[in-house]
Amino acid sequence: MIRAIVHHGFLGEAIEYFAVVVGPDVDRRFFFEQIKSARGDVVRYFGGNSEIVLNPEGVRFRGNGGMFGEYMFGGHLPVGDLLNEEVVNRLVLFGTTIDPRSHELRFTPNTEGFERWENLFLQGNAVANHFFFVDDRKRLPDVGDRQEKTLKSTGKLLKRSRKVGAGQFLALAHEMLDALGEPETTLVIVRVVHRANQRLAELCRNAYAASQSLDDVASALADEAIEPYQRERIQIDVIYHHRDNQELIDEYKRILASCAGSTIDSSARARLMRLRTLSLRNEVPLSIFDTLEEIVLQEPRAVVRKEDEADYIQSTREILGGFLLGRNITRKLSSLDLVQLMENKQRAAAMRDQTFEEVLLETGRLIDEIGREEEDYERLESFGELVTLFDRIDHTTTLVNKLAFMDDVELSPEQVRSLLGNMQVFEKLRRGLFQQLFIDPVVNNEYALAYGKKKLYALTLGLISIENNEESIAGVVDAIVSINRHERAYFAAYNLARRRMANFYLELNTAEGRETFRREIRAEITHDPALRDLHDFINESLLEEVITKIRLEAFYINQLLPRIVEEHDPKLRNDFLSNSGLDRFQVEELEREYFEMRAFPPQLLDVIQRPA
């Protein structure tokens, strides 16, 4: 017996569709027609008083049913859905509204409508969305009753099913029909796909899975008419769905949820900053976290009173306000003003305060208006110089952060030359400003990697040496390359040792055991063709460094961490981190493995990782 009929087709070059009809006697029921028109093909699915019509401009619908699609991360969505980890899909029922006072659903008979393709893929999922209706043979003649019954029977399934994002519409259709529990009812689901957006999403997924970076797809599909906003949505969604990133971002959501309705205390703020720093390793856009805070905390910054603003925002308003004064006031900012603005920008970034950028954008808008009215080109030129300076800050911050927080990062000669030029600009404003704004905050960050700090030291020393004609750009590049190869050699030996961890911990406590370790690690590296270029770096010093770190880890896991957990003593943990020289990233990974192996509650891990 035929249980389902599946259709597949295209509407022009842009839209691909799949339709599935499930229910009794579907092979003997007429539910479909294809219409030729002057503007293109029209495809219609119907049953009872309901229909879904696909045409070149969009989708027309009538009767019962609705639309659904997987939520795309980074967009604005209901707080309840965002904080419920089981909810993964957006669901809209035709003719359904929410009472603004009681927040209860109302089912109205006004179910007819039309959705243009561009709006559908902008408001819904950028790649695929679904429409559906049921033909219940007039079991429930009132459309409001029908919609309410459909929601109660299948709403939870449609909001939570992972089959939606996976494109498993046939299996989903059978689950929906079973959930309805109506033997005579037929269900129709139509899945529509934006082909260009789908190609971009697949390209981004493959690139990010390979390198955890989307730099190589920045110009991909340039000939496709994909809007920049849609490109950004797709890229952010791909980054979020990577397993490591999803854990970080979901943890960020949980912390924000605990703060909703109150202020973020110092402990929660420290945990949020830790997650933001961790995210730098996978190039997760910080705008994701800003969007989360806006949604969860419901804190529109526009209502902040001026007297409640931070001092760095107030001084920014005062300095930028000078651009808006009369014609006889000079537009050139002094070195003191420029330095103050640079410090304010960095403080705002550290506090995740978007107000600085908002003040800058508003000032730019007003200057543009005044410039058109008064032809005041000095004002425009001077503000443009300030924006260029801020671009230098952003560029420098990005490169410095990559060196400090990410493994296996090197700089090209062009990047070193750019950093040198930026440093010269900053140093002209005030001697030592480059070190103060970009190097010191990163080196003092507890999550900066040990090898990352070495690369920053080599970079800073190299730039100064170039200034003194004692070094070349190529020499600085080579110095960082050498540190990077040493880093790769260290982790190659370290990972080999970790795989044999169960046997080594006791052996490493004796001189004979350590010598056996050295001999076996050298042998494994010698026979590994992937590590051939690292042989020269696997020396006594590096092996001793690996042995020391593994012994420290063993001491922490076997002796210190059980005591920290038992006594709930984060101070003891922080003392160890400060004095051991271990990267905090590695220690937290060990802690996570320790807690998972023993099935300890994650809340306990939060307690011990809390700043002392």
Average pLDDT over residues 83-92: 90
Average pLDDT on 228-249 reads 85
* The two three-digit tokens of residue 43, written as one number: 């495809």
Residue 503 has what pLDDT?
Answer: 46
- 100-104, 139-143, 264-268, 525-529: least confidently modelled range: 264-268
Residue 303 has pLDDT above 60, yes or no: no
- Res 270 pLDDT > 80: no
pLDDT above 70 covers a percentage of the chain that reads: 90
Other beta carbons within 10 angstroms of residue 265's beta carbon come to 11
Average pLDDT on 151-163 reads 96
Residue 228 pLDDT > 70: yes
Give the contacts of 383 (CB within 8 A, at least 6 positions apart): 323, 331, 363, 364, 367
Lowest mean pLDDT among 359-368, 429-438, 467-476: 359-368
pLDDT score of 527: 75
∠ CA 141-146-148, nearest 5°, is 145
Higher-pLDDT residue of 283 and 6 is 6
- Residue 278's contacts (CB-CB under 8 Å, 6 or more residues apart) are 248, 447, 585
Q: Rounded to whole angstroms, how far apart are CA atoms 511 and 226?
A: 63
CB 155 within 8 A of CB 179: no
pLDDT of residue 305: 42
> Between 259 and 188, whose confidence is greater?
188
Give kind and range of the element (H or E) at residue 233: helix 228-241
How far does Cα 425 stand from its chain's mean position? 32
pLDDT tens digits, one per residue of 388-416: 999 999 999 999 998 998 888 889 999 99
- pLDDT single digits (tens) 558-576: 889 999 888 888 888 888 8
Kind of pairing between the strands at 89-93 and 66-70: antiparallel
Given this model, what pLDDT does residue 505 score? 47
Per-residue pLDDT tens over the stretch 43-55: 999 998 999 999 9
Dmax of the chain from CA atoms?
88
The predicted pLDDT at position 598 comes to: 86
Q: For the segment 573-585, what is each residue's pLDDT rounded down to a tens digit? A: 888 888 888 888 8
Is residue 377 predicted with pLDDT exceeding 80?
no
| 193-222 pLDDT, tens digit each | 999 999 999 999 998 888 777 777 766 555
Confidence of residue 301 (pLDDT cuts 50, 70, 90): very low
Residue 304 has what pLDDT? Answer: 39
pLDDT for 417: 95
Count the neighbouring beta carbons within 10 Å of the beta carbon of residue 357.
13
Please report the pLDDT score of residue 601 as a whole number. 84
Please report which confidence band the pLDDT of residue 368 belongs to, taking 50, 70 and 90 as the band edges. confident
CA gyration radius, the chain: 30
Strands 32-35 and 42-47: antiparallel
Gap between the terminal Cα atoms of the chain: 68
Q: CB-based contacts of 232: which residues, under 8 Å, 6+ apart?
A: 74
Whether residue 300 has pLDDT greater than 70: no
pLDDT the model gives residue 302: 36
Amino acid residing at 362 = E
Least reliable range by pLDDT among 57-71, 310-324, 371-385, 464-478:
371-385
- Residue 265: band (very low, low, confident or very high) from pLDDT cuts 50, 70, 90: low
The bridge status of strand 128-135 relative to strand 186-194 is antiparallel
Contact 408, 448 (CB under 8 A): no
Other Cβ atoms within 10 Å of 109 Cβ, number? 11
Is 534's pLDDT higher than 80?
Answer: no
To the nearest whole number, what is the mean pLDDT of the chain? 85
- CB contact at 8 A, 395 and 422: yes
Strands 50-55, 128-135: parallel, antiparallel or unpaired by DSSP? unpaired
In this prediction, residue 547 has a pLDDT band, given cuts at 50, 70 and 90, of confident
Inter-residue contact 411 to 477 (CB < 8 Å): yes
Q: How confident is the model at residue 267 (pLDDT cuts 50, 70, 90)?
A: low
Quote the CA–CA distance of 557 and 193 in Å, as a whole number.
Answer: 50
Both tokens of 250, joined, read 């979901």
pLDDT of residue 538: 78
Q: Which residues pair with 51 in a beta bridge?
A: 46, 62
If DSSP codes are grouped into helix, strand and coil, which group holds residue 215? helix
- For 461-508, the pLDDT digits (tens) are 999 999 999 999 999 999 999 999 889 888 888 887 777 655 444 456
Neighbours of 144 (CB within 10 A): 17
Q: How confident is the model at residue 11 (pLDDT cuts 50, 70, 90)?
A: very high
Mean pLDDT in residue range 7-22: 95
Q: For the chain, what percent of residues have pLDDT higher than 90?
A: 40
At 217 the pLDDT is 74
- At residue 612 the predicted structure's pLDDT band, cuts being 50, 70 and 90, is low
Q: How confident is the model at residue 175 (pLDDT cuts 50, 70, 90)?
A: very high
For residue 52, which phi and psi values (nearest 5 degrees)? -130, 120
* Predicted confidence (pLDDT) at residue 172 exceeds the cutoff of 90: yes
Return the closest-CA partner of residue 317 out of 344, 336, 293: 344
